[in-house]
């Protein structure tokens, strides 16, 4: 059964339009609370407790109150931490032995979007069947428990410090960051008051950018999805490295002293090489979007590689199924399950920095064994539900491009799980051929979408 509201990363949309409205979010909290009450393994008389964090969007205040009301009506206690990175919520949920964690965030989207995503008691994304159980209740009439059974809310004042210490604990005790100047771009998002302090407390000289959120500037010209600001700041300050996070700090890009930008595939490779030097890496999980060059590089190291569906939740599922520890997406979601249960941009940066400290030299030298193939991604706006798989013109163009790229690259069409877009991706050895093929295919999709 397909999900009505949940996408690849929770429920997401434009604020004020269904489903991101106060009444729906209150019902979502209520439905989630009812599911938790049914599934929670609690002592008699105890109530389940959840943790709610958010990024820095103005709409977070409204949605936080609506969620809190829904959970309280279901008889669930709520712990509030305010603006906090998505992976921090996952960690705190597990550390405080709570029944679930909820993040109010639309990740890398503009401020006028927002969303709700859930973590289990183990700090992992909710399984599909639990999300379906919540959806089955969210459109049902909402009631309220007896007054004496209503949930209560409290704030956790030391959440920020707890999370900073957790991040630092993933960096080897024998190493530090002394002598490094690092620019940290927080995208005016949830990590504005955590990430810079992590690197500073490990000894680095930190230059902060994108650290002044005002409710509407999240991801606006800063962060992992707009890395130009980081590249310019690294060069302007003569920094050794730059780290860019996105609005909820679960994805990362890095920049070296020359202003060269490195994506998730390259940073994952750096971490895997470091772990391989310490011991055996049993396997690595990527996605359909992972650059083919990474797969080939891992093959030369005799490390198995698998491709999951796009979305870090599916990468995590593949890791658990195979008993692997490392995986990620080229967008910057990086999983190191020996450090955390979910993708964490700050922790991923620390693992890359540890690899640099161990190997010496520059990031460019560390990644010398991985030369990415040219890849072109074009996002084509479509109407939600557009049946592109059944469109004869699109399918004919897809077959034509696949035949031309056979043996020399890959072609991928997929609908975004978070935005009304069809992603057209082509990669191969020849950059001009890749660009031409991607534009040709995108034009066909664009024309078909406009005619629908």
Can you give the length of the chain in residues?
A: 452
Question: Which candidate, 360, 342, 187, 331, places its Cα nearest to that of 267?
Answer: 331
Q: Which residue carries 């490195």 as its tokens?
A: 262
Q: Is the distance from CB of 436 to CB of 376 less than 8 angstroms?
A: no
Per-residue pLDDT of the chain (452 residues; tens, 9 = 90+): 467 898 878 899 999 999 999 999 999 999 999 998 887 665 445 789 999 999 999 999 999 999 999 999 999 999 999 999 999 999 999 999 999 999 999 999 999 999 999 999 999 988 888 899 999 999 999 999 999 999 999 999 999 999 999 999 999 999 999 999 999 999 999 999 999 999 999 999 999 999 999 999 999 999 999 999 999 999 999 999 999 999 999 999 999 999 999 999 999 999 999 999 988 899 999 999 899 999 999 999 999 999 999 888 899 999 999 999 999 999 999 999 999 999 999 999 999 999 999 999 899 999 988 999 999 999 999 988 899 999 999 999 999 999 988 777 899 999 887 788 999 999 998 899 999 999 999 999 999 998 87
278 falls within a domain: yes
Q: What does 295-335 look like in DSSP terms, one character per residue?
A: HHHHHHTT--EEEEPSSHHHHHHHHHHHT--EEE-TTS-EE
Task: Write the burial class of residue 444 (CB in 10 Å: 0-12 exposed, 13-18 middle, 19+ buried).
Answer: buried
Among 366, 401, 429, the domain boundary falls at 366
CA distances from 32 to 94, 286, 405 (A): 18, 30, 46
Is 393 found in the same domain as 413? yes
Indicate the pairing of strand 241-245 with strand 252-256.
antiparallel
CATH number, residue 420: 3.30.310.50
Which segments of 106-248 does DSSP mark as H helices, in order? 128-138, 159-169, 195-201, 228-237
287 falls within a domain: yes
Among 245, 260, 275, the domain boundary falls at 260
- 391-421 core/surface letters (b: 16 or more CB in 10 A; e: else): beebeebbeebbebbeeebbbbbbbebbbbb
Is 145 found in the same domain as 36? yes
Q: How far apart are the C-alpha atoms of 441 and 446, rounded to whole Å? A: 9
Is 153 found in the same domain as 18? yes
Domain of residue 102 covers 11-157
CATH number, residue 353: 3.40.120.10
Q: How far apart are the C-alpha atoms of 286 and 324, rounded to whole Å? A: 12
Is 251 found in the same domain as 271? no
Number of domains in the chain: 4
Catalytic residue among 59, 107, 120, 274: 107
Among 206, 225, 260, the domain boundary falls at 260
Q: Is the distance from CB of 51 to CB of 79 less than 8 angstroms?
A: yes
Is 199 found in the same domain as 150? no
Q: How far apart are the C-alpha atoms of 246 and 223, rounded to whole Å? A: 5
Global pTM reads 0.90
Is 178 found in the same domain as 60? no
Is 127 found in the same domain as 22? yes
Q: Could you confirm whether 65 is annotated as catalytic?
A: no
1 falls within a domain: no
Q: How far apart are the C-alpha atoms of 249 and 43, rounded to whole Å? A: 35
């Amino acid at each position: 059964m397909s999900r009505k509201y949940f996408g690849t990363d929770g429920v997401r949309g434009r604020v004020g339009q269904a489903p991101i409205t106060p009444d729906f979010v209150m019902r979502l909290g209520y439905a989630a609370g009812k599911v938790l009450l049914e599934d929670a393994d609690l002592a008699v008389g105890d109530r389940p407790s959840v943790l709610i964090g958010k990024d820095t969007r103005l709409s977070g205040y409204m949605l936080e109150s609506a969620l809190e009301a829904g959970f309280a009506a279901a008889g669930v206690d709520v712990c509030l931490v305010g603006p906090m990175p998505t992976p921090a919520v996952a960690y705190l949920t597990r550390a405080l032995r709570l029944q679930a964690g909820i993040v109010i965030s639309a990740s890398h989207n503009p401020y006028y979007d927002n969303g709700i995503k859930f973590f289990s008691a183990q700090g992992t994304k909710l399984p599909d069947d639990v999300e379906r159980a919540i959806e089955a209740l969210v459109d049902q009439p909402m009631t309220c428990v007896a007054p004496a059974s209503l949930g209560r809310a409290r704030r956790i004042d030391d959440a920020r410090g707890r999370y900073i210490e957790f991040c630092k604990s993933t960096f080897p005790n024998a190493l530090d960051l002394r002598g490094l100047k690092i620019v940290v771009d927080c995208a005016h998002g949830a990590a504005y008051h955590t990430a810079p302090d992590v690197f500073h407390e490990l000894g680095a000289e930190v230059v902060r950018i994108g650290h002044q959120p005002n409710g509407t500037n999240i991801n606006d010209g800063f962060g992992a999805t707009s890395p130009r600001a980081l590249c310019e700041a690294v060069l302007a300050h003569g920094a050794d490295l730059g780290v860019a996070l996105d609005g909820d700090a679960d994805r990362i890009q890095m920049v070296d002293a020359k202003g060269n930008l490195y994506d998730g595939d390259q940073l994952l490779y750096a971490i895997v090489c470091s772990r391989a030097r310490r011991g055996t890496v049993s396997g690595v999980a990527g996605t359909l979007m992972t650059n083919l060059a990474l797969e080939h590089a891992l093959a030369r190291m005799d490390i198995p590689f698998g491709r999951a569906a796009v979305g870090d939740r599916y990468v995590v599922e593949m890791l658990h199924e195979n008993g692997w520890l490392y995986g990620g997406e080229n967008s910057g979601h990086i999983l190191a399950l020996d450090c955390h249960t979910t993708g964490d941009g700050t922790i991923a940066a620390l693992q890359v920095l540890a690899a640099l400290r161990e190997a010496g030299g520059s990031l460019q030298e560390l990644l010398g064994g991985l030369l990415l193939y040219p890849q072109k991604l074009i996002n084509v706006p479509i109407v939600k539900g557009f049946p592109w798989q059944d469109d004869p013109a699109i399918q004919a163009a897809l077959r034509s491009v696949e035949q031309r790229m056979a043996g020399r690259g890959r072609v991928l069409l997929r609908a975004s799980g978070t935005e009304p877009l069809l992603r057209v991706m082509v990669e191969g050895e020849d950059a001009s051929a890749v660009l031409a093929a991607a534009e040709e295919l995108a034009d066909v999709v664009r024309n078909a979408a406009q005619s629908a």
